[in-house]
A and B are shown apart, each in its own frame.
Chain A
Amino acid sequence: MTARDIMTAHPVVLRRDQSVQEALKVIAAHRLHDLPVVDGEGRVVGMLSTFDLVRQALPAYIVSGDLKDVAFAPDLSMTYRRLEEIGNRSVAEVMTTDFDRVAPETSLLEVATLLYRHGHRAHNVAVADKEGRLLGVIGIWDIFKQMGSLREIPYGGSR
């Protein structure tokens, strides 16, 4: 079983110049965690990860783990302000370029390992050819679909 066999082909993609709010609507409509971002030639250039967006809305000293517990602080108006501000940015500004990209020949074992190891930055692995053109994405549900009865569940987000 290789990446080509399990991936969702022709996935929904984002463009770099879209606003984050627009992009999130697309992500929500497909019940996904993240979507690949492609350039004009169809090359995958980044991944918009909802988890990573939350990280960007938090102050640096919390993300770094220096302040482990913030239960003593009731709320921060700045968290809303930052979320609002992130929503108005372009996808290119907030997407993560540190995502997993595999070749179509990669094994299911390796893809599942990547998803498990790097789940904190994106829940999808991009499958791309040698030129970097996006062929598909593999998410958690593409792995579960390998269980017989789950084959037809409507997760995946094909165009």
Chain B
Amino acid sequence: MTGMTALVVATAIFVATYIAIMTEKVNRAVIALLGAAIMVFFGIQSQAEAFKGIDLNTIFLLIGMMVIVAVTQQSGVFQYLAVWSAKRVGGRPWAILVALGVVTAVLSALLDNVTTVLLVAPVTLLIADVLRVSPYPYLFTQIFASNIGGTATLIGDPPNIMIGSAVGLSFVDFLVNLAPITVVIFAATLGPLYLIWGRKMRVEEEDRARLLEFDEREAIQDPVLLKKSLAVLAAVIVSFTAAHGLRLEPAIITLTGAVVLLWWSGRDFHQTFAEVEWVTIFFFVGLFMLVHGLENVGLLKILAGALATWSGGDLLLAGMLILWGSAILSAAVDNIPFVATMIPIIKGMAPAFGGEEAIRPLWWALALGACLGGNGTIIGASANLIVAGFAERAGQPIRFLPFMIRAFPLMLLSIAISSLYWWLRYV
């Protein structure tokens, strides 16, 4: 199959797969892999060609981080940090909201967002129970904190891992270009949250006293494991920052950290590997093959050309288009397939703008839009859905529309701040 027919067939398979992923009737990894296989059956690309599309740096970086997190979380350090921060600010309800938000944001920057909220949200519910306050504002803040924090680093959120890997941007590049603005965005988000909830928060003195009786040291399950985990995590992050000088890619650093920690901690190998989220991994594998098919038939080159022509080679226009477009789309659909598709498109725009170096700011626009856009709706990011699950079980369900009425404007605020930052810094 060649030329126009291949283009139409590949696009049809891709669109059908996308729709099937969005309806969430069948597991998304199954759909993505099936779509990728169908492309091979139709002769869009050979198996070997499809496999070339799989970005193994992204895959192994994700697996490595998942193993490190699976071991580290058993030490109880996440619960420790949550309880410690809540006590540290004297058990006052608004201050706890900010403190837990900061803990969530920092952990999300260093680990994946889903794991972070999975571990911090239950402690948050416990704290809200003790203080006899509604957990809703706290959980709402944690959704924002996890997505904003995840934007800050290379390993914070899957879109960043994909972008960094595809373009060769380093850990330090992300830290320098994205981390500062995420701090501003987080601070700016707290303002409206204070007006909505913070100024009305009250707790009984006896409940506050009870919270201060919490003993965070009891949360540490295994002090030895804690030390080993933190040592490995620190070594991995330091190696990231030195990766360029060491001529190493992030995946090999993370994998080394993962196996060293596995061996050193003496954890069960089978059990730990079983905790890797294989659904997510295979979802990535399937998507990479699918997108590669679109690339092979030339569709993405056409789209890149259209986007370049439309923006008339104007960096500001292209950047704003990517930033706002990806924010709004990422609020509505999963940002992972979106970013996987956008990467080859933006790459294809390089010649029109005068080379790879010239389009570098566009990658930051994509990262900011795709990561922060996830805050717009309750289905915008996986971490949101995890938090919603906790809220539901705690009898304080986070409903789609009430969440969106507050979250979408706040998300737009974060994109507005990003736009200003991006314009000042890169244009």
Q: Using A60-B393, A61-B393, A76-B129 as known contacts, say yes or no to A67 and B123 having CB atoms under 8 A apart.
A: yes
A119 within 8 A of B: no
Check: A1 CB closer than 8 A to any chain B CB.
no
| Nearest 10 pairs of A and B residues by beta carbon | A60-B393, A67-B122, A72-B218, A61-B122, A71-B218, A72-B219, A66-B122, A74-B213, A61-B125, A72-B215
CA A61 to CA B215, docked complex, whole Å:
19
Contact B76 A59 (CB under 8 A): no
- Interface residues of chain A: helix, strand, loop or mixed (majority): loop
| Interface membership of B52, Cβ < 8 A | no
A73 within 8 A of B: yes
Tell me, yes or no, whether B13 is within 8 Å of chain A by CB. Answer: no
Given the interface pairs A61-B122, A67-B122, the reply to whether A78 lies near B129 with Cβ below 8 Å is: yes
Assess whether A153 is interfacial by the CB under 8 Å rule: no
**How far, in whole Å, are A70 and B216 apart by their CA atoms in the complex?**
10
CB within 8 Å: A-B pair count: 58
Contact A71 B118 (CB under 8 A): no
Output the least CB separation between B387 and chain A (Å): 12
Residue in contact with A73 in the complex, picked from B76, B214, B390, CB distance below 8 Å? B214
Query: What's the Cα separation between A62 and B121 when bound, in Å?
Result: 12
Q: Please, which residue of chain B has its CB at the minimum distance from the CB of A77?
A: B210
Give the residues from 190 to 233 in chain B that come closer than 8 angstroms, CB to CB, to chain A.
Answer: 207, 210, 213-219, 221
Considering only residues 41-66 of chain A, those with a C-beta below 8 Å from chain B are 59-62, 64, 66
Interface residues of B, count at CB 8 A: 27
Contact with A along B71-101 (1 / 0, CB 8 A): 0000010011001000000000000000000
Q: Which residues of B contact A69 (CB under 8 A)?
A: 76, 79, 219, 221
User: Which of the residues B129, B207, B216, B395 comes within 8 Å of A72, measured between beta carbons?
Assistant: B216
- For A64, list chain B residues within 8 Å (CB): 393
User: Do the beta carbons of A61 and B76 come within 8 Å of each other?
Assistant: no
Q: What is the size category of the interface that chain A forms with chain B? A: 10 to 19
Q: B126 touching A59 by the CB < 8 A rule?
A: yes
B residues less than 8 Å from A61 (CB atoms): 121-122, 125-126, 390, 393-394
Given contacts A66-B122, A78-B130, 20 further A-B contacts (CB under 8 A): A59-B125, A59-B126, A59-B129, A60-B395, A61-B122, A61-B125, A62-B122, A64-B393, A69-B221, A70-B126, A71-B218, A72-B79, A72-B214, A72-B216, A72-B219, A73-B130, A74-B213, A76-B129, A76-B130, A78-B132
Nearest-CB residue, chain A, relative to B395: A60
10 of the cross-chain contacts (CB-CB < 8 Å) are A61-B393, A66-B390, A67-B122, A67-B123, A69-B219, A72-B79, A72-B80, A72-B219, A74-B210, A77-B207
User: In the complex, what residue of chain A is closest to B219 when comparing beta carbons?
Assistant: A72
Nearest B residue (CB) for A79: B129
Which residue, B122, B214, B217, B394, has most C-beta atoms of chain A within 10 A? Answer: B122
Bound together, the chains give a CA A77 to CA B126 distance in angstroms of 12
Interface-central residue, B76, B79, B390, by most chain A CB under 10 Å: B79
Q: Which residue of A lies closest to B215 (CB)?
A: A72
Mark contacts of B49-85 with chain A using CB atoms, 8 A cut-off: 1 yes-contact digit, 0 otherwise. 0000000000000000000000000001001100100
Q: Which B residues are CB-close (under 8 A) to A72? A: 79-80, 83, 214-219
A50 to B213, CA, bound (A): 30
